[in-house]
């Protein structure tokens, strides 16, 4: 191979390797046992000559790594993730490295996990499972694990992009929920879908479903029974759900997060779960990082223009693991075989595109911001 491409982790499937190898690339896959590679580990992998790297969302792709990659002659980096909060895109631009991410292939898989968590929370599946395994089941009882009926309730979506819209559609179509959503951009196709489905239900003699585009995030939090968070993580969405916003929500609401941990103030969440035993939460992502633990921001955080912060979340805030009204899973929203192979393939195509002089397949520079300055969370 003429070009040297490094993958910081083994990735599912072989198509991504074949694609690279067929196009003059030699692929090197790091098989180090360590779950999360440090900046130093990755510098060693890059070495003296490296044309492109496929990296993971657990890695801190900032100034140091992009300058090392650029010194090694590298011009391409792809995150194997749709999120790129671990990537300093400005630093990449500065060192002439193109950046790619992997949207699209994980939309339905991620939305399905958000839907799974919604149902599991509504019907208290995890608690009930623990109860069975503990040998506590002693016969049917009218009050045993009574949960929420979703039919006719309202699903709230914050961030109605690809994943948020797919989730909304599943909940509306599958469980005949009404929809309220908040996004800077109008989710036209989603609105049309809910309208058409509402007409269909009406024609079948059933109670129709409705939709509403909320004027503010707070409106969604106040009105919805099940709320799922689907924004990107940046300075405008850090602690989007804080103490004040938790208190706006219905006492029996369900909150789902399959986006990024720091979107929720996890300490405030634990306190809220303790005070409101009927409030339930389903979390795929957590706030505290391994390398940055305890997680802190510089005080100038909010005013920084180019923001880059690295997130991985192997820890839960104290108290969360003990809460019966919380369901917690280890960042598995995109974990279907088809999707993970697709993500690996897209990441390879991103790197290959740049090496071969094509446009990068997916360029996060072109991603629109989720919120504007006016929608920053209350201080």
Site residues (CB under 6 A) for ligand GLV? 57, 81-83, 106, 334
Strand 226-229 vs strand 211-213: parallel, antiparallel, or unpaired? unpaired
Helices (H), 176-312: 188-203, 217-223, 243-248, 266-275
Report the catalytic residues.
260, 313, 331
Which residue's CB is nearer to ligand GLV, number 142 or number 357?
A: 142
What are the structure tokens assigned to 273, written together? 């779960």
Q: CB of 86: closest distance to ligand GLV in angstroms? A: 9
CA distances in angstroms from 362 to 20, 77, 236, 287, 342, listed in the order given: 17, 11, 23, 27, 13
Question: How far is the C-alpha of 63 from the C-alpha of 263, rounded, in Å?
Answer: 24
Question: How far is the C-alpha of 304 from the C-alpha of 291, rounded, in Å?
Answer: 22
Q: CB of 106: closest distance to ligand GLV in angstroms? A: 6
Q: CB of 60: closest distance to ligand GLV in angstroms? A: 15
What are the structure tokens assigned to 238, written together? 């850090």
CA distances in angstroms from 333 to 37, 88, 117, listed in the order given: 21, 23, 10
Q: CB of 57: closest distance to ligand GLV in angstroms? A: 6
Contacts of 20 (CB under 8 A, 6+ apart): 5, 27, 348, 351, 352
Q: CB of 166: closest distance to ligand GLV in angstroms? A: 14
Q: CB of 330: closest distance to ligand GLV in angstroms? A: 11
Helices (H), the chain: 15-22, 39-46, 63-71, 89-94, 107-122, 125-133, 162-175, 188-203, 217-223, 243-248, 266-275, 337-355
Which residue's CB is nearer to ligand GLV, number 139 or number 205?
A: 139
Handedness of CA 172, 178, 184, 190 (dihedral sign): positive
Nearest to 278 by CA among 316, 242, 237, 249: 249
Nearest to 57 by CA among 353, 335, 325: 335
What are the structure tokens assigned to 299, written together? 């005080």
């Amino acid at each position: 191979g003429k070009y040297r491409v490094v993958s910081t982790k083994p990735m599912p499937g072989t198509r991504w390797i074949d694609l690279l190898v067929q196009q003059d690339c030699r692929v090197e896959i790091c098989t180090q046992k360590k779950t999360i590679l440090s900046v130093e580990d990755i510098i060693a992998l890059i070495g003296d000559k490296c044309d492109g790297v496929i990296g993971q969302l657990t890695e801190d792709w900032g100034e140091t790594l992009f300058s090392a990659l650029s010194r090694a002659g590298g011009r391409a980096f792809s995150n194997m993730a749709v999120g790129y909060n671990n990537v300093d895109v400005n630093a990449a631009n500065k060192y002439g490295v193109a950046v790619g991410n992997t949207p699209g292939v994980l939309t339905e898989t991620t939305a399905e996990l958000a839907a799974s968590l919604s149902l599991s929370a509504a019907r208290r599946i995890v608690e009930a499972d623990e109860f069975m395994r503990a040998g506590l089941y002693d016969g049917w009882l009218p009050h045993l694990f009574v949960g929420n009926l979703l039919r006719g309730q309202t699903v709230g979506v914050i961030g109605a992009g690809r994943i948020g819209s797919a989730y909304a559609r599943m909940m509306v179509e599958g469980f005949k929920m009404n929809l309220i959503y908040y996004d800077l951009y109008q989710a036209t196709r989603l609105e049309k879908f809910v309208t058409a489905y509402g007409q269909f239900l009406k024609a079948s003699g059933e109670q129709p479903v409705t939709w509403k585009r909320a004027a503010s995030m707070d409106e969604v939090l106040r009105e919805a029974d099940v709320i799922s968070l689907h924004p990107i993580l940046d300075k405008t969405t850090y602690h989007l759900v804080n103490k004040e916003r938790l208190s706006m929500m219905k006492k029996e609401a369900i909150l789902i997060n399959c986006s990024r941990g720091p979107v929720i103030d996890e300490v405030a969440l634990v306190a809220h779960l303790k005070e409101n035993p009927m409030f339930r939460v389903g979390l795929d992502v957590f706030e505290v990082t391994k390398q940055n633990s305890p997680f802190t921001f510089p005080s100038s955080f909010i005013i920084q223009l180019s923001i880059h912060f690295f997130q991985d979340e192997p820890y839960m805030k104290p108290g969360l693991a003990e809460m019966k009204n919380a369901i917690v899973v280890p960042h598995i929203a995109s974990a279907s075989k088809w999707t993970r192979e697709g993500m690996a393939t897209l990441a390879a195509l991103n790197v290959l595109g740049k090496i071969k002089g094509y446009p990068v397949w997916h360029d996060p520079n072109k991603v629109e911001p989720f919120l504007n300055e006016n929608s920053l969370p209350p201080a």
